Amino acid sequence: MPKQIILAAHFPGVNNTTVWSDPASGSQIDFASFVHLARTAERGKFDFLFLAEGLRLREQRGQIHDLDVVGRPDTLTVLAALAGVTTHLGLAGTLNTTFREPYELARQLASLDHLSGGRAAWNVVTSSDAFTGENFRRGGYLDRSLRYQRAAEFVQTARELWESWAPDAVVADRAAGRYLDPADAGAFAHHGDQFDIAGHFTVPRSPQVHPVILQAGDSPEGREFAASSADAIFSRHGTLEDGQQFYRDVKSRLARYGREPDHLKIIPGVTFVLGDTAAEAQERAHHIRRQQVSPQTAILLLEQVWNRDLSGYDPDGPLPAEDPRPDDDSIIKGRTRLTDDPIVTARRWRALAEAKKLGIRDLIIEVTGRQSFIGTPQHVAESMDHFVQTDAADGFILVPHLTPGGLDEFVDRVVPLLQDRGVFRTEYTGTTLREHLGLPAARPLPVVAA
Amino acid sequence: MSDPTLHLAVALDGLGWHPAAWRLSCAEPTAPLHAHWWSGLAAEAERGTLDLLTIEDSLALQSSRPDGPDGRTDQLRGRLDAVQIAARIAPSTRHIGLVPTTSVTHTEPFHLSTAVATLDHVSGGRAGWRPRVSGTSAEARHFGRRDIPGFDPHRLDEPATVRLVDELFAEATDAVEVVRWLWDSWQDDAVIRDVATGRFIDRDRLHYIDFTGRWFSVKGPSIVPRPPQGQPPVAVLAHAATAYAFAAGQADIVFVTPADAGQAAEIVTEVRAAEVAAGRTGPPLRILADLGVVLDETPTLARRRRDRLDDLDDTEHASDAAIFTGTPALLADLVADWHRAGVDGFRLRPAVLPDDLTTIVRALVPALRDRGLFRHRYPGGTLRDLLGLPEPVNRYAAPSPA
């Protein structure tokens, strides 16, 4: 049997990928939007639905960013509600370890796992961001070097809590009047650098025992953390070659943790545009890119590279002649910067703009966020299958550009072709997300990387 | 018939409030770990046109001791997160208010605010919230962020205990304050989707709350747009003056625990005085009496059920609230009696679930309807509407021109 593709649906987020100006764009808050996307994904036999998280509204030039979708509901609460309108779909939430405590988050996730019949997943992120910390008790400052230490110890602690009830701790023998055996069900003690806690966990062992762990960081520390602790990586490697290199690198790190290559799934986030012909798909892709990059957004994205106020520039005019000021205080808060080497990027962009006679907006459209898969349903199905069969990925997290209908066309037109190729399920064969993903049942507590 | 104003709530916890409930319930002893248990109870409560259901929760395992774990193996132990349960049953219900309990002692006001706001969004305006404090050292050790020395439950008037309780409620006051400001931090019309200017929101209609207090500071604005109800109702369980003051200053609903009609009247007087002392300007607190219930067809059968439960637990069950043992008709008499004494309604704590809830819905509710005391159908609308609470004004909204 050929390698089977994993498919997940990302609820459209709060960056300019999500087009809100289109007449077909619906609410990012109404529960009906979440129900629509979740049911579409389940109709398409997807593995899971993915929610991102925001804990402080983004700012640029010291003001709340107003050009993209702003605001979203609380991740865990939406996932629990979605468990009530779906039966098989995995429910994955991004949840920050910097602004939460293991006891509380572990019980929320274990509760979600019970209430969904074993469909919970957690995308572990950390933040060293004092800006976001202004909304929280701990104030949020965490030294960058401690980010993965906290994340790894957080996950380790959560696993200890999830295992604190033995599988047979609840005997519930009415005749004998014995509910628990033994008396210390849920007892735990964790004494570490980040967390020093002890007591009793409230939630008996959940169907998956360990909800599925996802990880999204791409740094060497992030890769190592994924190799030690995660079940899947939400990666960002869009090209075949990058994907294959990343895939080899990460899978090669597993052995030292006693794990099989198959026990860590690599699922890049990707976008797609379909058309009846290749030309039509390209045309739609360009139209969507123009919607994603409004004149105002073009200036804002340019500011993220130049790191200064460019609000006086004409979106259809030439790029700034001056170089960026990467060493000044970042003008963007609550979000990572677009690029690592702004001076080099700026020079490359200027050269491209001159060569192709592009104004600022057209340049931005040219250099940012091109969709990953563009073409006829046949072409997209083939390309995705090729990606997976040549080990550039184990599957994809699809990021639609429209809420809530952005996945409809994919499910109607591409999924059947993947099924025809024998690389995607036609029915769910398991009930838990671990079963969908072909992951082993809860694995033993990992060794944390030194 | 005049518009009935009696409010009825049911308090859900495990397989019922009697510690031996799991021995007699017709449900599986592990049913509370499953979603269908909760959606079934919610559906039953909704058949009885109840105002709301509450879901108990705590940051520690259940215990027969108020100050920490008891090591018992003969009672139901283990519990799911109440907000998760409330959200899970929101899509399968249409009218009933969903009021989860959360601790405000070791948790983040920002997360609590967005969670309840989101519950309000997913339920179409039916969220409520019962904040509580966590006063045990056991709970503090689960978080490891601060020491709470613990207390002797038999000596609540010890100065150190009084100080601890005062501090916990002062922190709770700040927490509810922050949650409420965050709910208002988006004006209702903040999302403008103005294609001409490329702006999704009008940022002038979003507000930093800039709260600074002794326990935490919160910048804001919320990440979640204003909930459909604006301010989901906040409920507080209160047994004494400190908690009455907390409720008077911060809550919409107060659950109180009188032993009889006379005491109910006294507590109502005390709560109203606390409202005056707090300088309360909004609508008065909805005062609901908490009452445990063991129901059966005759007083003798009810007494026998209760004895059987007490026998199974080897002790006569007592609780912070009075426990009624009798027939639905006698309970209807009590309800009418206490209602006349000034309580706006009741939060009933079924001794055994689903059994006593079923009796509440199938027998008590019809008896109250026959007396013109309780609604026959839902009028439609939000939980605030059901409770007769007016639409709250957003504290950031510009005052309308005179």
As a whole number, mean pLDDT of residues A245-268 equals 95
Taking Cα atoms as reference points, which of B59, B102, B103, B108 lies closest to residue B216?
B108
Q: Which residue has the tokens 């969004």?
A: B121
Domain shared by A210 and A114, yes or no = yes
Residue B10 phi/psi, 5° resolution? -120, 135
Query: Is B221 part of any domain?
Result: no
Query: Is B31 part of any domain?
Result: yes
Q: Which residues 72-101 of chain A have a CB within 8 Å of chain B? A: 72-74, 76-78, 80-81, 83-85, 99-101
Domain shared by A377 and A355, yes or no = no
Please judge whether B83 and A77 are an interchain contact, meaning their C-beta atoms are less than 8 angstroms apart: yes
| pLDDT at residue number B1 | 41
Q: Is the pLDDT of residue B258 over 70?
A: yes
| pLDDT at residue number B104 | 98
Chain B residue with CA closest to A130: the answer is B219
Omega before residue A182 within 30° of 0, cis: yes
> How far is the C-alpha of A446 from the C-alpha of A225, rounded, in Å?
11
Based on C-alpha coordinates, what's the Rg of chain B?
A: 21
As a whole number, mean pLDDT of residues B175-202 equals 96
Q: What is the mean pLDDT of chain A?
A: 92
State both tokens at A235: 């990666």
Query: Is A24 part of any domain?
Result: yes
As a whole number, mean pLDDT of residues A259-263 equals 94
Q: Is the pLDDT of residue A139 over 80?
A: no
**Model pLDDT for residues B147-188, shown as the tens digit of each residue:** 998 888 788 889 999 999 999 999 999 999 999 999 999 999
Residue A31 in contact with partner chain B when CB distance is under 8 A: yes
Query: Is B297 part of any domain?
Result: yes
As a whole number, mean pLDDT of residues A165-190 equals 94
Q: The domain containing residue A217 runs over which residues?
A: 6-276+371-437
Half-sphere exposure of A324 (CA within 13 A, CB side): 25
* Range of lowest pLDDT (A42-51, A136-145, A438-447, B173-182): A438-447
Name the pLDDT band for A337 (thresholds 50, 70, 90). Answer: low
Within 8 A of A57 by CB-CB distance, chain B residues are 206, 221, 223
Domain shared by A379 and A361, yes or no = no
Q: Is the pLDDT of residue A332 over 80?
A: no
Q: A200 vs chain B: nearest CA distance in angstroms?
A: 6
Reported ipTM: 0.97
Q: A110 vs chain B: nearest CA distance in angstroms?
A: 8
Q: Is B326 helix (H, G, I), strand (E, B) or coil?
A: strand
Name the pLDDT band for A182 (thresholds 50, 70, 90). Answer: confident
Within 8 A of B138 by CB-CB distance, chain A residues are 199-200
**Model pLDDT for residues B212-229, shown as the tens digit of each residue:** 999 999 999 999 999 999
| pLDDT at residue number A329 | 80
Query: Is A299 part of any domain?
Result: yes
Query: Is A388 part of any domain?
Result: yes
Single out the residue in A306, A335, A367 at which a domain terminates: A367
| Beta bridge mates, B347 | B9, B290
Residue B202 in contact with partner chain A when CB distance is under 8 A: yes
Nearest to B88 among A84, A135, A295 (CB): A84
> How far is the C-alpha of A441 from the C-alpha of A391, rounded, in Å?
24
Name the pLDDT band for A129 (thresholds 50, 70, 90). Answer: confident
| CB B4 within 8 Å of CB B375 | yes
> How far is the C-alpha of A102 from the C-alpha of A163, rounded, in Å?
13
Nearest to B203 among A63, A179, A296 (CB): A63
| pLDDT at residue number B97 | 98
Please judge whether A137 and B223 are an interchain contact, meaning their C-beta atoms are less than 8 angstroms apart: no
pLDDT > 70: percent of chain B: 98
Name the pLDDT band for A335 (thresholds 50, 70, 90). Answer: low
Cα dist from A192 to A149, A152, A200, A227, whole Å: 11, 11, 17, 21
A329 by Cβ neighbours in 10 Å (0-12 / 13-18 / 19+) ranks as: exposed
Q: The domain containing residue B21 runs over which residues?
A: 7-133+232-387
| pLDDT at residue number B67 | 78
| CB B198 within 8 Å of CB B92 | no
Domain shared by A378 and A361, yes or no = no
As a whole number, mean pLDDT of residues B201-220 equals 96
Q: Is the pLDDT of residue A13 over 70?
A: yes
Residue B350 in contact with partner chain A when CB distance is under 8 A: no
Residue A450 in contact with partner chain B when CB distance is under 8 A: no
Listed in sequence order, the residues at least 6 apart from B56 whose beta carbon sits closer than 8 Å to its beta carbon are B11, B12, B13, B14, B79, B82, B101
Query: Is B198 part of any domain?
Result: no
**Model pLDDT for residues B283-337, shown as the tens digit of each residue:** 999 999 999 999 999 999 999 999 999 999 999 999 999 999 999 999 999 999 9
As a whole number, mean pLDDT of residues B234-245 equals 97
Q: What is the CATH number of the domain that holds A148?
A: 3.20.20.30
Domain shared by A394 and A245, yes or no = yes
Q: How many domains does chain A have?
A: 2
Name the pLDDT band for A450 (thresholds 50, 70, 90). Answer: very low
* Range of lowest pLDDT (A95-109, A317-331, B262-276, B293-307): A317-331
Name the pLDDT band for B134 (thresholds 50, 70, 90). Answer: very high
Residue B215 in contact with partner chain A when CB distance is under 8 A: yes
Query: Is B162 part of any domain?
Result: no
| pLDDT at residue number B382 | 98
CB pairs under 8 A between A and B: 232
Q: Which residues 99-118 of chain A have a CB within 8 Å of chain B? A: 99-101, 103-104, 107-108, 110-112, 114-117
Domain shared by A351 and A383, yes or no = no
**Model pLDDT for residues A358-409, shown as the tens digit of each residue:** 999 999 999 987 899 999 999 999 999 999 999 999 999 999 999 999 999 9
Name the pLDDT band for A25 (thresholds 50, 70, 90). Answer: very high
As a whole number, mean pLDDT of residues B357-384 equals 97
> How far is the C-alpha of A171 from the C-alpha of A169, rounded, in Å?
6
Single out the residue in A367, A399, A427 at which a domain terminates: A367
| Beta bridge mates, A211 | none
Please judge whether A137 and B108 are an interchain contact, meaning their C-beta atoms are less than 8 angstroms apart: yes
Domain shared by A209 and A308, yes or no = no
Q: Is A360 helix (H, G, I), strand (E, B) or coil?
A: helix
- Chain centroid to Cα B287, Å, comes to 12
Mutate to test the interface with A, among B41, B74, B77, B202 (most CBs of A within 10 A): B77
Query: Is A227 part of any domain?
Result: yes
Taking Cα atoms as reference points, which of B147, B90, B51 lies closest to residue B378?
B51
Residue A166 in contact with partner chain B when CB distance is under 8 A: no
Name the pLDDT band for A336 (thresholds 50, 70, 90). Answer: low
> How far is the C-alpha of B317 from the C-alpha of B337, rounded, in Å?
24
Query: Is B70 part of any domain?
Result: yes
Within 8 A of B33 by CB-CB distance, chain A residues are 114, 204
> How far is the C-alpha of A202 from the C-alpha of A126, rounded, in Å?
25
State both tokens at B13: 């916890």
Q: Which residue type is seen at B387?
A: L
Angle at A34 between CA A30 and CA A36, to 5 degrees: 110
Domain shared by A242 and A129, yes or no = yes
| pLDDT at residue number A102 | 98
As a whole number, mean pLDDT of residues A118-136 equals 92
Query: Is A131 part of any domain?
Result: yes
Listed in sequence order, the residues at least 6 apart from A170 whose beta carbon sits closer than 8 Å to its beta carbon are A179, A180, A185, A204, B29, B30, B78
As a whole number, mean pLDDT of residues A401-427 equals 97
Q: Is the pLDDT of residue A44 over 80?
A: yes
**Model pLDDT for residues A54-88, shown as the tens digit of each residue:** 999 999 888 999 999 999 999 999 999 999 999 99
Q: A212 vs chain B: nearest CA distance in angstroms?
A: 18
Q: How many domains does chain B have?
A: 1
Chain B residue with CA closest to A75: the answer is B115
Please judge whether B30 and A54 are an interchain contact, meaning their C-beta atoms are less than 8 angstroms apart: no
Q: What is the CATH number of the domain that holds B19?
A: 3.20.20.30
Q: Which residues 344-383 of chain A have a CB within 8 Å of chain B? A: none
Q: B229 vs chain A: nearest CA distance in angstroms?
A: 14
| pLDDT at residue number A262 | 94
pLDDT > 90: percent of chain A: 80
Top pLDDT among A292 and B398 is at A292
Name the pLDDT band for B400 (thresholds 50, 70, 90). Answer: low
Query: Is B282 part of any domain?
Result: yes
State both tokens at A202: 């409230």
Query: Is A185 part of any domain?
Result: yes
* Range of lowest pLDDT (A264-273, A327-336, B61-70): A327-336
Query: Is A448 part of any domain?
Result: no
Taking Cα atoms as reference points, which of A390, A431, A441 lies closest to residue A5?
A390
Q: Which residue type is seen at A8?
A: A
| pLDDT at residue number A449 | 40
Single out the residue in A316, A341, A367 at which a domain terminates: A367
Q: Is the pLDDT of residue A338 over 80?
A: no
- Chain centroid to Cα A214, Å, comes to 8
Taking Cα atoms as reference points, which of B187, B185, B194, B232 lies closest to residue A56?
B185
Taking Cα atoms as reference points, which of B217, B267, B215 lies closest to residue B237?
B267
Residue B226 in contact with partner chain A when CB distance is under 8 A: no
Query: Is A284 part of any domain?
Result: no
Q: What is the mean pLDDT of chain B?
A: 95
